[in-house]
Amino acid sequence: MKSLLIATNLVLVAIYIGFSTYWVDSSSEWWHSLKRPSWQPPDFVFGLIWPYNFLVLIVTTFVVADNSTNYTWWTVIFAITVAAATWWGYEFYRTKVFRRAAVALILCALFTVPLLALTARASTTMFLLLIPYQLWLATASSLATGYWYLNQRTK
């Protein structure tokens, strides 16, 4: 069972990476025409934080599997966060409905809280290493809300 859960989580990370790469397009004319929230970090920060986040999620998959009796719940909650994060990419970049994109990221950030709690029970180190992921999701949620407000896409 543990091997199946590990494989499931690795597939979830691959889906997360794949859809993030497929849907997110920050080079388009449309993207450059948007009004940006004043608190948006410089572009290079995105290039640094996402590889870190994905690497920590992969390592956490193995550590939590080895040290937790709640690994099934961890997997279910992680699947919800991946679904919400990929939903954000679709809504923001494909449908351009910022309201739904903001809701998706807020849900992702909220569901990451129990994910962190389960991780803390399994490994203090991995819990601490996942805190930047949670902080990033909170920042991204506020940015998504800022884009919604500034660009008034309310389909």
pTM comes to 0.86
Q: For position 2, what pLDDT does the model report?
A: 77
DSSP H helices in the chain: 2-23, 29-33, 43-67, 71-89, 98-122, 124-151
Other CB atoms within a 10 A radius of the CB of residue 100 amount to 19
pLDDT in tens, 61-80: 889 888 877 888 999 999 99
Q: Closest Cα to residue 142, out of 111, 108, 102?
A: 102
State both tokens at 124. Answer: 């203090």
Pick 139 or 152 by higher pLDDT. 139
